[in-house]
């Protein structure tokens, strides 16, 4: 019996001795699951950002939000986030007067993600359609196209130029043929147009009764009336006037030429009227 007990004890002790001489103790089992979760979260955020346009301000906001979540100092130094050193040589953020705005939380929801994707897709489709229409109406060479935060903006290179102190058109400026093509393009109601009236610095009407603001308003309203009479729907026209507050800046030109070209009405085309209400937001 004693021999059998000794053999049994030896058999039981053998694996324990082997385990003591094996690999050293490793990290706890939950650590692998935690690491997987962090990796998946990082992948998720990268996927979200891939749906949006690459804009520096939004990237900085997202980065600031992530740093804030992990206890970082969310501050902006100049135009980029810079890293400094604390007295204990631990990485920290250089303090600044301008904080980074938190990343919009609605973007992190599925509804916000889909809405943002739809906005970006619509903007791309609008630009494609605008280019096609400009080619169809032979206006591609007469305009400059810009991609703005609020959508596509098309500006005619030439303006309607008026005689001094009058609403009568000058022989120079926007060509009559280009104006006709513009009217045809706007007549289908697909695009909105901004009619912007201007006056030269200190300009008044020939009879002295109208100042620069009234004169620019009268010019803009006359052009708007002309567009409507030629078949452009009134709902796609927005008429504004600036008086002499926005004269042309033309280095190298003499003042007489600048004043002449400043007596103008400009055209800007887009997809959305800026007076239209957008998404309602709440201020907390």
What CA–CA distances, in Å, run from 134 to 129, 131, 182? 9, 5, 9
**Residue position matching structure tokens 């800007």:** 268
Which pLDDT value is given to residue 240? 92
263: its two tokens: 């007596």
Q: Give the global pTM.
A: 0.55
**Greater pLDDT, 223 or 87:** 223
**Greater pLDDT, 283 or 81:** 283
Domains along the chain with CATH numbers: 28-108 (no CATH), 122-270 (3.30.1330.60)
Q: What is the DSSP letter of 234?
A: G
| pLDDT tens sequence across 148-172 | 766 778 888 889 999 999 999 888 8
| Chain centre to alpha carbon of residue 58 | 10
Nearest CA to 225 among 282, 183, 273? Answer: 183
Give 9-22 as a 3 state SS string: HHHHHHHHHHHHCC
Share of the chain above pLDDT 90, in %: 26
Which pLDDT value is given to residue 73? 47
């Amino acid at each position: 019996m004693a021999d059998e007990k000794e053999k049994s004890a030896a058999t039981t002790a053998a694996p324990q001795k082997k385990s003591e001489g094996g690999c050293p103790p490793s990290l706890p089992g939950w650590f692998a699951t935690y690491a997987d979760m962090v990796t998946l979260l990082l992948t998720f955020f990268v996927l979200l950002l891939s749906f949006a346009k690459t804009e520096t301000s939004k990237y900085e906001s997202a980065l600031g939000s992530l740093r804030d979540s992990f206890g970082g100092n969310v501050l902006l130094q100049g135009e980029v986030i810079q890293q400094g050193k604390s007295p204990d040589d631990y990485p920290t953020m250089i303090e600044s007067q301008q904080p980074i705005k938190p990343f919009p939380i609605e973007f992190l929801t599925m509804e916000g993600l889909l809405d943002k994707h739809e906005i970006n897709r619509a903007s791309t489709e609008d630009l494609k359609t605008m280019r096609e229409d400009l080619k169809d109406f032979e206006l591609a060479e007469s305009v400059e196209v810009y991609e703005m935060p609020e959508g596509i903006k098309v500006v005619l290179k030439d303006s309607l130029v008026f005689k001094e102190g009058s609403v009568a058109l000058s022989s120079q400026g926007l060509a009559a043929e280009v104006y006709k093509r513009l009217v045809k393009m706007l007549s289908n109601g697909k695009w909105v147009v901004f009619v912007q009236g201007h006056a030269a610095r200190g300009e008044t009407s020939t009879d002295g009764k109208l100042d620069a603001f009234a004169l620019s308003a009268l010019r803009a309203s006359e052009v708007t009336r002309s567009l409507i009479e030629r078949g452009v729907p009134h709902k796609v026209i927005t008429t504004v006037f600036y008086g002499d507050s926005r004269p042309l800046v033309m280095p190298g030109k003499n003042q007489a030429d600048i004043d002449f070209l400043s007596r103008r009405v400009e055209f800007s085309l887009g997809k959305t009227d800026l007076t239209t209400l957008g998404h309602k937001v709440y201020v907390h």
